[in-house]
Structure 1
Amino acid sequence: MVIDDNEFDCYITARLVSNTNLASEVLEFNSGEVALQYLVENQNDLTMLPELIFLDIYMPLMDGFDFINMFRLLPDEVTNHCEICIVSTTVDDFHIHKAKIDESIRLFTSKPITVEFLESLSTN
């Protein structure tokens, strides 16, 4: 799953994930609200849920950290199934530190995402 309000960044990340065969299907969402709604609607069917969520920090209405706070309220089966990877252009030390100490976040990487980064995910 890719959640990014920038349609171009969302598209590029989704294509790279597909091209590196990291996932057989990539879900694309341009808002955290819609992505969260998808997770809620499919929470009883783990086969419909992503194993990895690429999440942008800076988005209108619901930013990445707001999404994570709402994500934590989902059942353990969902939160244990889906890992979050922050993908952001931020240079704000506070946001970077916050992302790195948050146990809900598996990884943090800067945009643009790279093939090498994605390949490292498949080996870990």
Structure 2
Amino acid sequence: MEFKPLFLLIEDNLIDQIVTQQLLKKVFHVEEIIIANNGKEGIEWLQDNKTNRPFIILLDIQMPIMNGYEFLEEFHKLSEEIKDEVQIYVLSSTLDSAEIAFIKENQYVIDLFSKPFPVEEFKNRFLTLF
């Protein structure tokens, strides 16, 4: 049986949402990808939905209402039960070295990928974790 991870895409840009969904469906053969339009919606989804399988968050940084940095601060406050089931990958087009350092040093972030989403690189990186 093929492993099909559950994805939560936290991204405010509609075009990036559509492109990332299509890439994930093609490469991972997933039927459903949960979309949150900002970090606040992502935190609320995590608090409201219990899943019995590990899942992956693809997190944008620059978003209205609650950006990716604020999401990571709120994520830290969640229960260990929730945090233990999650892998966070940041998707960003930033070139700011301070932002990149912050992301890479965050204890919850597995990796940082540049936009547009390099799905094959992600798949190779993801599969090495299992």
> When the two structures are superposed, what TM-score results if normalisation uses the length of structure 2?
0.85
Hey, what's the Cα distance between the residues in 1 that align with 2:119 and 2:89? 15
What are the ranges of 5 or more consecutive residues in structure 2 without an aligned counterpart? 1-7
Aligned partners of 1:22 and 1:105: how far apart in 2?
A: 24
Aligned-partner Cα distance in 2 for 1:50–1:14:
18
Please give the alpha-carbon distance, in whole angstroms, between the structure 2 residues aligned to 1:95 and 1:23: 31
Letter paired with 1:39 = L
**Structure 2 equivalent of residue 52 of structure 1:** 56
Q: Is residue 40 of structure 1 aligned with residue 72 of structure 2?
A: no
**Is 1:112 matched with 2:116?**
yes
Residue 71 of structure 1 pairs with residue 105 of structure 2:
no
**SS of equivalent to 1:103:** coil
In 2: Cα distance, 1:102 partner to 1:91 partner:
17
Name the SS of the counterpart of 2:22 in structure 1. helix
Q: Could you list the runs of 4 or more consecutive aligned residues of structure 1 that deviate by over 4 angstroms after TM superposition?
A: none
Identical-pair percentage: 29
> Aligned-pair RMSD on alpha carbons?
1.7
Higher share of residues assigned strand: 2
How many residues end up aligned between the 2 structures? 121
Aligned-partner residue type, residue 28 of structure 1: I
Q: State the TM-score, normalized to the length of structure 1.
A: 0.89
